């Protein structure tokens, strides 16, 4: 159990990148980008986990009980919400690209040719 979560992280990164490379549709590319970003959340939380630790909220457990790391949770938390907004911006660009070039196929969009 020592390294298994990180193997899953590596798998998700490679799967997402494979989707981006073999994509024939800009919207499919953007969703694969979301998948790659989600691997970083798993990595952050996997690094901060303490075996047998509780969630770092001391409303009903006494201060000083073993808890997982709160700093990586704070980072992952803002990450998740900001990713949605950035995805929306990318989708707006995709819509604009379709209006300009008439297609969403990356291999036919002029800047991406080749």
CA atoms of 86 and 72, how far apart (whole Å): 21
> Does residue 109 bind another protein (CB under 8 A)?
no
Q: Is 108 in the site for another protein (CB under 8 A)?
A: no
Binding another protein by CB under 8 A: which of 72, 101, 105, 109? 72
- Interface with another protein in residues 88-107 (CB under 8 A): 88-89, 91-96, 98-99, 104
How many CB atoms neighbour CB 15 within 10 A?
14
Q: Pick from 40, 68, 101, 109: which binds another protein (CB under 8 A)? A: 68
Residue 104 CB, nearest approach to another protein (Å):
7
Binding of residue 5 to another protein (CB under 8 A): yes
């Amino acid at each position: 159990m020592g390294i298994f979560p990180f193997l899953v992280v590596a798998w998700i990164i490679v799967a997402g990148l494979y989707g981006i490379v073999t994509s024939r549709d800009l919207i499919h590319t953007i969703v694969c980008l979301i998948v790659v970003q989600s691997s970083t959340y798993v990595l952050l939380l996997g690094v901060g986990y303490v075996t047998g630790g509780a969630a770092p909220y001391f409303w009903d457990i006494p201060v000083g009980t073993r808890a997982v790391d709160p700093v990586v949770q704070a980072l992952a938390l803002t990450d998740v919400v900001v990713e949605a907004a950035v995805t929306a911006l990318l989708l707006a660009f995709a819509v604009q690209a379709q209006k300009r070039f008439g297609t969403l196929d990356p291999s036919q969009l002029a800047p991406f040719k080749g």
